[in-house]
Chains A and B, each alone.
Chain A
C-alpha cells in the first residue's frame, strides 16, 4: 500500500488518538535504512561510472591512434607498390592487418564501455528517482506524526491551563470588539487633542473667576455653614 493511502487509512481509522503512530517507529527506521542504502548504492554506482567513462575515453583515444596508424601504413603500402617493391608492400600489408585486428579489439572495448556507462547512468537515474520518492514518503510520514504530536501538545496545554479554544465566531467577535475599542480610543485621543485649545481657554477663564467655577472644599464648607 502506498504511504499516502496508509496515512489516509490510519487517520480515518482513528489512529488520530494522541500518541498513536501512523506507521510504527520500526517501519520508519527501516525506511530510513533503505534511504541510506540507496544513497550508498548511488555513490558506488557513480564511482563505477567515473571509472568506466575514463576507460572508455582511453579506448577511444587508442582506437583513434590505431586508425591513424592504419591510414599512415596504407600510404606506405601504396608508395611501396608505386615503386614496384612488392616485398615491402606485403610487409606493410601484414602490419596493417595486425593494426586492423587491434583496431577491432579497441572498437569492441570502446563499445562495451559505452554500453556499461549507459547502463550505469540509467541505474543512477533510476536509483535517484527512487531515493527522491523514499524521501518524499518519509517526509509525509514524519510530517503527519509531527502534526499529531504538536496537536496533542497543544490540546494538553489547553486542558492543563483550563482554557479551551473558543468557538470561531465568538473569537472573531471578541477580536473585532477589541479592534473597535482600540479604534475608539484612537478617535477619542484625536478628539481630545483637538479640544485642547478650548480647554486651555476654559482654565484661563476659571483662573480669572469668569464662568462656572469648580466646586472646592472651601465652597462646600461655606455652603454648609450657610444652611
Chain B
C-alpha cells in the first residue's frame, strides 16, 4: 500500500463512492510522502494520510492552541477525553501546537476501509468543531 494507490482509488471513485463523497487527492512530497485528501465541499478541513512501516495514519487538523479560550482549556480537554471512545474510528491527539483527530489503520487495510476512515474522520472533525465551539475563540 502506498499513497499513490490510495490517491488513484479515491480520485477515480466519483459517483461510485460507497460513501457518497467526491475526493480530490494531492500528494505532498517530503521526507515521508503524505497524501492530502480533500472531500469536495469540505476543502477547508483536508485529511492527511501517511504510511509508515506498520500503519496508515489519517490526520485532520482541528485547531491551534491559539484558538483555544485559555480559561476553558481544561474543560475542553476533559470534553475531548470523554468524547474519545464514543467517537467512531477516530481519536484525539495533539501534534505540536495543533489539536487533531486521527485514525490509525493496519498497513493491510483495504482501499474501502481507508475510504471509510477518511470520510468518518471528516464527519468527526466537523462535528467536533461544532460541538467544541464554546471553547474556541
Contact = CB atoms under 8 A, between A and B. Distances in A.
Interface of A: 16, 19, 139, 142-143, 146-147, 149-154, 156-157, 165-172, 174-175, 178-179, 182
A139 B32 contact: no
B133 A154 contact: no
B30 A153 contact: yes
Interface of B is mostly: mixed
Interface of B: 28-34, 36, 41-42, 44-45, 48, 50, 52-55, 57, 59, 61-64, 67, 95-96, 98, 126, 129-130, 133, 136-137
Of A19, A150, A171, A178, the most chain B CB neighbours within 10 A belong to A150
A139 B57 contact: no
Interface of A is mostly: helix
Closest 9 CB pairs of A and B: A153-B30, A171-B44, A168-B63, A150-B50, A146-B52, A149-B31, A157-B28, A172-B129, A149-B32
B67 A168 contact: yes
Contacts of A146: 32, 50, 52, 57
Contacts of A166: 44
Contacts of A175: 41-42, 44-45, 126
Contact of B30 (A156, A167, A168, A182): A156
Contacts of B31: 19, 149, 152-153
Given A156-B30, A174-B44, A178-B41, A168 B50 contact: no
Nearest to A139: B54
A143 B55 contact: yes
A142 B52 contact: yes
Contact of A150 (B34, B54, B67, B126): B34
A56 B31 CA distance: 55
Contact of A165 (B29, B30, B61, B129): B61
